[in-house]
Amino acid sequence: MPAALVTGSSRGIGRAIAERFARDGYDVAVNYVSSAQKARAVAESIQRETDSEAVAVRADVGDPDDAADLVEATVEAFGDLSHVVNNAGIDQHVHTEDLSPEDFDRVMDTNVNGAFNVTKAALPHLKESAASEKADADSAPTPSVTNVSSILAYTGAPIECHYAASKAGLLGLTKSHAGDFAPEIRVNAIAPGHVETDMTADRTEEEAKSEMEKIPLDRFGQPADIAEAAAYLRDAGFVTGETLNVNGGELMR
């Protein structure tokens, strides 16, 4: 059975992607940093409710050694790595004048460097998977990397410039890697709009109303909406170097 690694998948969007991949027949590595109990619960749920296997693996993807260990743990568990979803990310609401260089670097380390670290470590295994699939005409889609960016990569964000900058950086990384790894490996990105997760739970009713007024489809996104996009990009054999904007029409490009 092919295997996938989803970083930052103990909750929210990452969890939804991991669960969707498992339902679609992929073994899944569930990555976390501090939410061990939640990650184990996701892995146990996958094994209980699907025919797929799952393991929970702790790793700080901003650390190159941790990222390499995460990839190796995935391959050791499943004997394969065909798809990577770089979803791990952290956010912080703070104005630039109050933003420390250390906090700026911390967000960049996780959101951008983390995607680079995991992709670089996974590359030999993705190439091996590509070579194996090339020999099998009836194999699954070519290996892929999907980076989870944000609508803020386009719009910017007044109180989280480092987060917006990190998500914009992911788009450049996506296009660069798509050209670098073709034709064996496809690399794409997803740019979600406002999605209801733990990261948005602290917004006020007034803030939620203001945000809703900008969305033509008149609802906030759900993690399952982003998982649907990730599944599409996983299987879209003629799509690489693209960003799929999933935002209910809030930003039409």
The residues carrying an active-site annotation are 163
CB within 8 A of 226, min separation 6: which ones? Answer: 13, 16, 17, 148, 190, 192, 195, 246
Scan for tokens 């960016």, then name that residue: 149
Tokens representing 121 are 């470590």
What distance in Å separates the CA atoms of residue 23 and residue 244, rounded to the nearest whole number?
A: 22
Tokens representing 53 are 């296997």
- Count of CB atoms within 10 A of residue 166's CB? 27
What distance in Å separates the CA atoms of residue 153 and residue 115, rounded to the nearest whole number?
A: 15
